[in-house]
Amino acid sequence: MKLLTAQTGLLGTIEVPGDKSISHRSIMFGALAEGTTTIRHFLRAEDCLSTIAVFRKLGVEIEETTEKIIVHGTGFAGLKQPDTVLDVGNSGTTIRLLMGILAGADFDATLTGDASIVKRPMNRVIMPLREMGAVYDTARDAGFAPIKLTGGNKIQPVEYVMPVASAQVKSAILFAALQAEGETVIHEKEKTRNHTEEMIRMFGGEISEDGLVVRVSGKQKFHGQDVIVPGDISSAAFFMVAGLIVPDSEVELVNVGLNETRTGILDVIAAMNGAVEVDMAQFSGTVRVKTSELTGTVIEGDIIPRLIDELPIIALLATQAEGTTVIRNAEELKVKETNRIDAVAFELSKMGADITPTEDGLIIRGKTPLHGAKVTSYGDHRIGMMLQIAALLVEEGEVELDQAEAVAVSYPHFFEDLTKLLPKNKQA
């Protein structure tokens, strides 16, 4: 696919699709609640549609209209044995959280996914769930999908010290803990996104957070809710960066989810001297950016979990900053849809960036002009969108993107939304 370029500024307002993490969880909590849950501004992308498909196979009635999703809850006890394998497609969130949800099921089930999912590590989830009494077997017992659940096990509470900072692992433990008698205590390595904790409260449950310690009691009941999903800051991040690095740009993003466990990119933009304004409402707000003279920075430590999904586009941002930007403590990038450390470094280097991969991050030296090249997303939606934003800076040559279809995993209308910011006479 030939990517868009922009010889002059991006101007306009965009409302990005619903938050992917919250969209997944709204289906899950709706299924586990009593009564009906109505979801608006749901992200109708491939990953979230995989979650809907899986819960339908588990016996949950889910209706879809143009404006909303309606989930008729069954509770944990109402989930039914599927008559086929539960295929999550490309969604790591779905398979990992589903392992926690099914930990106490009284039936057997097999979970699998696409070629990317079967290469992603699952032992980090399986190990604590086994401590709690769940019985899971993996392909060749190597910690990869397909994963077979043997049902009929009593789930026990646990006190678990997280070896990695992962919201998906934490959420899987929380879902299992909700099926146990007694209190489960989780000690986080670093603070990660807390959407599961917030939705436990939204659906009528109780959970406590004290610094890095999370406590939850089992056997709680949830009640159906009306959910309005805020815009996904991970999707908004691509337009934020575009507005900062494309000359003569001013971009406004409305209804962006601004949960503090997800807003690390705003802190990085500020540290790099980027022009950003935020108007905050209760759970979402408006973000405005404009072209800026950026400076390099160091990104490391406890901010990493707050921007882990945004690091590919932050790396591009750094190529347009004066000086050196160093990203550290981001080993988690290696086990995403692809090895994002290597993918970012290799593909941006093709376009002229001065970028070096390390064991746990990247070293980016700016400011560098970018040129045309043949690039690939490796089937990773965030790499594909990052490369499209990079293409906006190209003045010589064309950018051809292989596997552009991967963008649909989280943002089906990404290219159309970008076009809205480009007057027709500015498009390639």
Is 83 designated active site? no
- Known binding residue 25? Answer is yes
Tell me how far apart the alpha carbons of residues 168 and 204 are, in angstroms, rounded to a whole number: 21
C-beta separation of 190 from 300 below 8 A: no
* Token pair belonging to 370: 């970018």
- Known binding residue 382? Answer is yes
Q: Which of 232, 309, 380, 417 is catalytic?
A: 309
Supply the angle between the helices 92-101 and 20-32 in degrees, to the nearest 10. Answer: 30
Place of tokens 């008729």: 72
- Known binding residue 168? Answer is yes
Tell me how far apart the alpha carbons of residues 405 and 416 are, in angstroms, rounded to a whole number: 13
Tell me how far apart the alpha carbons of residues 184 and 257 are, in angstroms, rounded to a whole number: 29
C-beta separation of 285 from 260 below 8 A: no
- Known binding residue 170? Answer is no
- Known binding residue 336? Answer is yes
C-beta separation of 173 from 133 below 8 A: no
Place of tokens 């009284």: 106
Within 13 A of 127's CA, how many CA atoms are on the CB side?
14
- Known binding residue 279? Answer is no
- Known binding residue 166? Answer is yes
Tell me how far apart the alpha carbons of residues 391 and 385 are, in angstroms, rounded to a whole number: 10
* H or E segment to which residue 319 belongs: helix 311-319
- Known binding residue 334? Answer is no
Angle at 53 between CA 47 and CA 54, to 5 degrees: 90
Binding-site sequence positions: 20-21, 25, 92, 120, 166, 168, 309, 336, 340, 382
Return the active site residues: 309
Binding-site sequence positions for phosphoenolpyruvate: 20, 92, 120, 168, 340, 382
Binding-site sequence positions for 3-phosphoshikimate: 20-21, 25, 166, 168, 309, 336
